[in-house]
Amino acid sequence: MNGRPAKTLMIQGTCSSAGKSLLTAALCRIYRRKGYRVAPFKAQNMSNNAAVCADGGEIGRSQAFQALACGIDPTYQMNPVLLKPEADSRSQVIVNGKPWNNLDARDYFERSQMLWSEITSALDSLREEYDLVIMEGAGSPAELNLQQFDLVNMRVARYANAPVLLVGNIELGGIFAQLLGTLWLLPEEDQSRITGFIVNKFRGDLSLFDDGISILEERSGVPVMGVVPFVQDLNLPEEDAAPVQETKMIDKADGHRLDVAVIYFPRISNLDDVDALRSEPDVSIRFVKSARNLRTPDIILLPGTKSTLDDLQWLRKTGLADEIVDAAERGVEIIGLCGGYQILGEQINNSQQIESDIPSAIGMGLLPIHTNFNGGEKQTRQTSATIAANTPIPETAGMTVSGYEIHQGTSTTNSGWLDIEGAATPCGSAGYDNRVWGCYLHGLFHNDDFRAAWIGKIKQHKGWSNEKPSSTTYSYADLVERELDRLADEVEAALGTDALMELIASKIETTS
């Protein structure tokens, strides 16, 4: 470091889903491969897809993934402010990894400016430790009605005196309006900070956009750094803001594939639990928001939720609750993780209205557990666990698995099958001849041996075991590393090595 703070580079987008998170991860990997000590940074994130750092602090999962691209462990400084939506206009506010407050949107905007010092302190800390910090914005910097409250876009770029790359998603259409419109709506000082445009997610022959590059450069005076192609079949976590559409039942006529229906709660959280399953060739993941589209899956997965009681109410309102109970009676494998695990139980007590204004509710009654939200701190920790002899997954007894916990509430049961390190009592429960089961441990399916045993169990029940062996013959962690390198290769080829090196050597001249 030679006593100098790290260089900085910022990625901002014309809109949500422009591809900022993955491009930031790609740049983190590119500069790491060039020998830099790199760290990611996003001042403020809004996502219920959270990661848990080694000290128990929460940050956005996209920043944890970007830290992986850098080859470092995630810390709260990489995302000092995290908003976790609990309702349409209310969020839990996480500051420096810990719960700070629960605020509606108006109250948050009025109080958010007191968080600026936490943001700058976190960024300064990273710049003292690393050679380069790749910073990510949020939404668009040209939200004119919100610019006075900015904590994450141009205010951060100005503070760090960082060059900014503005990213537009051509797949959404209107790429010229996206890039030029965003640029022209910015104040003159911020316009001069835009060092280059990136046209992202281009499908087809890149040469067909040659005229587009000329038009953008002539109209703006800003160089187009490159046109990044849409990378097919990329097995990497989705961006925080990427919408997940309800998907139809798979056609299983062409070979055997397990049909996994993931219930897409209104307040779904930690959707990364399905990432490793999505990569399995014999598994097909689809997301379900309505009873009519549940159909006849092989497996139903109830993932985490930021509002267990509200989403339980939603299940009943949509008719999905009845459909899931009927599926359990038919012998369908049903899994609940974290909030989904709580929902599958018998009773949920929330008399102090910690998580929602619903004081209590009868659960779906598929697991013999009772959950209490009253009292106690939110549980957030990385951990490992040993699978007990009464496991619902044959061949896994004694196996050690790792993951993380992130939940309000505690659940009591007499059928715990997961001995979590440091926990007083076993976690998890199983019922319906081990066809219905769940636990609090996120990341369970990222454990390769466990995932293989579980897939083998389902195949055996379906009579497939003699036809095809378990498809898990790889390390999911190794797969992610390979895919990160593939993404980085595509981005580096599109932007050019020389241009990338010039970027972090550039100085921004401002009018201030």
Question: Is there a catalytic annotation at residue 28?
Answer: no
129: which 2 tokens?
A: 């430790």
Counted residue by residue, the chain has a size of 512
Question: Is there a catalytic annotation at residue 442?
Answer: yes
Strand partners, 259: 284
**Phi-psi region for residue 53, left (φ > 0), alpha (ψ -120 to 50) or beta?**
beta
CB within 8 Å of 99: residues ≥ 6 apart: 92, 93, 378
Catalytic residue from among 15, 70, 442, 446: 442
Query: How do beta strands 369-372 and 347-349 pair?
Result: parallel
Q: Which of 414, 428, 430 is nearest to 328 (CA)?
A: 430
**Phi-psi region for residue 201, left (φ > 0), alpha (ψ -120 to 50) or beta?**
left
What does DSSP assign to residue 384?
A: E
* Residue 146 backbone dihedrals phi, psi, to 5 degrees: -115, 0
Angstrom distance (rounded) from CA 275 to CA 238: 9
Long-range Cβ contacts of 342-345 (<8 Å, 24+ apart) = 342/308, 342/369, 342/371, 342/407, 342/409, 342/411, 343/302, 343/305, 343/308, 343/311, 343/312, 343/315, 344/302, 344/369, 344/436, 344/438, 345/369, 345/370, 345/371, 345/411, 345/413, 345/429
Contact 138, 130 (CB under 8 A): no
Task: Tell me how many degrees the CA angle 163-164-166 measures, rounded to the nearest 5.
Answer: 160
Catalytic residue from among 70, 338, 427, 439: 338
Angstrom distance (rounded) from CA 95 to CA 159: 20
Angstrom distance (rounded) from CA 437 to CA 428: 7
Catalytic residues: 338, 442
